[in-house]
Structure 1
Amino acid sequence: MSNLHQEIKQMIIDALDLEDIEAAEIHDDEPLFVDGLGLDSIDALEIGLALQKHYGIKLKSDSEETRQHFASVNALAALIQSQSNNK
Structure 2
Amino acid sequence: MSEAVSNAQERYDLVRRITVTLVEGLDLPDDPEVIDPDQPLFGRGLELDSLDTLEIVSLIDEEYDIALDDTPDAFGSISKIVDQILAKRD
TM-score after normalising by structure 1: 0.84
Say whether residues 1:79 and 2:88 are aligned partners: no
Give the distance between the partners of 1:58 and 1:2, measured in 2 at CA.
21
State the alpha-carbon separation in 2 of the partners of residues 73 and 46 from structure 1.
14
- Provide the TM-score with structure 2 as the length reference: 0.81
TM-fit CA distance, 1:26:
1.1
Q: Say yes or no: does 1:68 pair with 2:76.
A: no
Where structure 2 has 5 or more consecutive residues not aligned to the other structure, the ranges are 1-10
Query: 1:8-56: CA deviations, max 9, x gaps?
Result: 10111111112x2111121011100011101000111111100110111
Counterparts of 1:5-84 in structure 2 under 5 Å? 5-18=15-28, 20-59=29-68, 63=70, 66-84=71-89
Deviation (angstroms), 1:59: 3.7
RMSD, aligned CA:
1.5
* Runs of 4+ off more than 4 Å: none
CA contact (8 A) 2:68 2:84 kept: no
Amino acid at match of 1:83: K
Counting matched residue pairs gives: 80
Greater C-alpha radius of gyration: 2
